[in-house]
Each structure stands twice: as C-alpha cells, then as structure tokens.
C-alpha cells in the first residue's frame, strides 16, 4: 500500500509503505529493549560488586569458624558420651529409687493410718468419759475432769517443745 501525503508549497511527495512503518516500530522496540538490557546489566554488575564485597568481609570469619569445627566436633562427641553415661546411670538407679519411693509411701500410709486410729481412739475415749461424767456427776464435776484433761495436754505440749529444742541444739 502506498500512502500519499498532501502536496505542500514545495511539492514534496512522501510515500510510506506498511512494511516500512512496521520496520520502524521494530527498530524502536529493539532500541528500547537494548536500553532496558543495559540498565539491567548495570544493576547486575552493581549487585555482583556488593556480593563480592560481602564475600570478602565474611571469608575471614568463615575460615576461622571452619578451622574450629574439628575441635567443636570433639567436644560434642565428649558431651554425647557423658550423656550416654548419665542415661546409663539413671537407668540403673531408677528401679532402686522407685522401690525406695514406694517403701517411703507405704511407711507414710502406715503412719497416717496410725494417727487416724489414735485420733479415733482418743475421740471415743473422750466421748466415753463425757458420757459417764454426764450420767453420774454434776456440772462442777465435769468441769474439774475437763480441767484435768487440759492440764495434762498442756504439760505434754511443754514437754514436747523442750525435747524439740534439745534436738535442734544437737
């Protein structure tokens, strides 16, 4: 196809073919792509310079850390060996410890049972005394019996405090 432009005072005829227009657009797209590629290449070069600087900064501590790795591996091996020994010791000691714990719990249970029986016996004895006194004695006689019982408990408490002080001094 041929496009004709209007003639001007100079009478210039310009004819543009569709192929020429497409070729011009393709050349412009190529120039834009080249500019974008050059900008990207500049950015990649800048990034590579920063990466090289970072590697230079990190290389010395990295070499030192790598040199320390064999010593750390030996220490870790020793620690793991100690953990195995501790685990073996705990495995050997735990059945005996469990048995002693169960024995202590049984003894505590027996102690609680004895204290419970003592409390029940005392309460039954006091109840019997109160029933007898109430049936046979007057209020004054009951008061004297209670004062005697409380005096006995107070004497026992004083005696218990003295013996605990002696134990603390030893």
The string over 133-167, giving b where at least 16 C-beta atoms fall within 10 Å of a residue's C-beta and e elsewhere, is beeeeeeeebeeeeeeeeeeeeeeeeeeeeeeeee
Query: Distance of CA 49 to CAs 38, 60, 61, 113, Å?
Result: 17, 18, 20, 84
Q: Label residue 24 exposed, middle or buried (CB < 10 Å: 0-12, 13-18, 19+).
A: exposed
Q: Based on C-alpha coordinates, what's the Rg of the chain?
A: 53
- Sequence length of the chain is 170
- Indicate if the pLDDT at residue 137 is higher than 70: no
- Indicate if the pLDDT at residue 59 is higher than 80: yes
Its pTM stands at 0.34
Give 156's pLDDT tier (boundaries 50, 70, 90).
low
Q: pLDDT for 15-55, tens place per residue?
A: 778 888 999 999 999 999 999 999 999 999 999 999 999 98
Q: Quick one: which of 43, 64, 66, 62 has its CA closest to 54? A: 62
Show the tokens assigned to 122. Answer: 């005392």
Give 170's pLDDT tier (boundaries 50, 70, 90).
very low
Rounded to an integer, the average pLDDT of 147-170 is 58
Task: State residue 157's pLDDT score.
Answer: 60
Task: State residue 133's pLDDT score.
Answer: 62
Q: What is the DSSP letter of 10?
A: T
Show the tokens assigned to 48. Answer: 């590579």
Mean pLDDT of the chain: 78
Q: pLDDT for 61-101, tens place per residue?
A: 888 888 888 888 889 888 888 888 888 888 887 777 778 88
């Amino acid at each position: 196809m041929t496009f004709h432009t209007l003639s001007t005072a100079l009478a210039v005829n310009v004819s543009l073919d569709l192929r020429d227009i497409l070729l011009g657009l393709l050349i412009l797209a190529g120039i834009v792509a080249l500019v974008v590629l050059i900008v990207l290449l500049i950015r990649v070069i800048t990034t590579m310079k920063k990466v090289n600087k970072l590697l230079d900064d990190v290389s010395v501590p990295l070499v030192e850390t790598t040199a320390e790795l064999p010593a750390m591996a030996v220490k870790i091996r020793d620690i793991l060996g100690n953990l195995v020994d501790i685990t073996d010791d705990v495995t050997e000691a735990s059945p005996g410890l469990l048995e002693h714990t169960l024995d202590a719990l049984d003894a505590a249970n027996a102690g609680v049972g004895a204290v419970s029986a003592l409390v029940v016996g005392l309460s039954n004895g006091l109840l019997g005394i109160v029933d007898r006194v109430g049936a046979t004695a007057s209020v004054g006689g009951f008061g004297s019996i209670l004062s005697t019982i409380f005096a006995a408990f107070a004497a026992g408490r004083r005696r218990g405090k003295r013996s605990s002080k002696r134990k603390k001094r030893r």
